[in-house]
Structures are given as C-alpha cells and as structure tokens.
Amino acid sequence: MSGVVSPATAVAACIGDCAFEPTHSTPCWRPAPCPCCSAAAAAGKRWSLSDFDIGRPLGRGKFGNVYLARVKSHQQFIVALKVLQKAQLMKAGVEHQLRREIEIQSHLRHRNVLRMYGYFYDEKRVYIILEFAPRGELYKELTKRGRFSERRAATVRG
C-alpha cells in the first residue's frame, strides 16, 4: 500500500483512543474534488488554521461552532469551518461519534448532502472543512413552515 490511510484510521489517530494526541505522521486531510483540497492533496499538504480567513459565525453547537471561512490560497472558495473543542468531546465521551461522522461524510456523494472536504486538528480543537450552504439549513426552513407541500418537498434543492 502506498501510504494511503482510511479516514477512520486517520481520525482515530487524530482523536486517539483516550486523548487527542496524534499518533502518526500521515496528513489529516482527505483529497476531494474541490480546487483547494485537490491542490493541497497533490502537494502532500496538511491543512492548518492559517490557511483560512475566518468570517462570521454560522451556527453554534454543544461541542463547538461553525464559521464562514475563505481559503487563502483560493480566495473565491468559501467553506463552512466546523470547530469542535476536544475537551468537550472527551468530557461527553463522544470521540467515537466524531470518528464515525468523519468516516461517513468522507464517503457521501449526494447533491442534497453537504460535502466534507477534509479535516485537521491542533492541540485543543478539531476542524472539519464543509461545503458552505448559502441558503442556510433546510431543517430551519422546515421548522419555520411546519411542513412542506408535496410539490415543495419534491423540488427542494441544496
């Protein structure tokens, strides 16, 4: 095998069994068909927070926040950067769920599911690079309306 590591293996190393200390030297990114991620993969590059211009917050969650971000090397490429606090993930004992989320999202390819372009980590946080949805969450729209008509449900697009 030529140094290829599955997302689950890389995430397990990123998160660790009981801690978030990296246990390997394999880059924590996944090649994807977006211009910035493909270029990074070809160059054998590891992502870091310094590769992004962080913008406004898009949402908050129990374990962290999601921010609008621009990839510095490709100024036109906008992503959603999910920033998760390792300490909170460990305190709640959900490291395995993060591993699974990344494993599943790394294989998903559907027009109605946001893409995960990659991920990286530092001492305190795990960062997940996601496709940005400029029109927001479908769930919020559904909650606001109560329900979609059959016609609306059939034509909903990302």
The CA distance from 142 to 17, in Å, is 38
Residue in this structure with the two tokens 């801690």, named with its chain if needed: 19
Q: What is the pLDDT of residue 35?
A: 53
Nearest to 117 by CA among 4, 56, 127: 127
3-class DSSP assignment, residue 81: strand
**Band of the pLDDT at 68, cuts 50, 70, 90?**
very high
- Dihedral sign, CA of 128, 27, 98, 90? negative
Of 141 and 156, which is predicted with more confidence? 141
Q: Smallest Cα–Cα separation from 106: which of 36, 114, 74, 92?
A: 114
Mean pLDDT for the stretch of residues 71-82: 92
Structure tokens at 85: 């606090």
CATH topology of domain 7-155: Phosphorylase Kinase; domain 1 (3.30.200)
| Per-residue pLDDT, 34 | 55
What would the two tokens of residue 32 be?
């994807």
DSSP 50: G
Question: Is the separation of the CB atoms in 79 and 127 below 8 Å?
Answer: no
Q: d(Cα 47, Cα 41) in Å, to the nearest integer?
A: 10
Tokens (6 digits) for 121: 């980590």
What average pLDDT does this structure show over 77-92?
96
Residue 107 CB neighbours (<10 A): 10
Query: Tens digits of per-residue pLDDT, 2-48?
Result: 344 444 444 444 444 333 333 333 333 333 445 555 555 556 678 99
> Please, what sign has the CA dihedral across residues 130, 134, 140, 141?
negative
What pLDDT does 42 receive?
53
What are the residue boundaries of the structural domains of the chain, listed by start? 7-155
In three-state secondary structure terms, 46 is coil
| DSSP-derived secondary structure letter, 127 | E
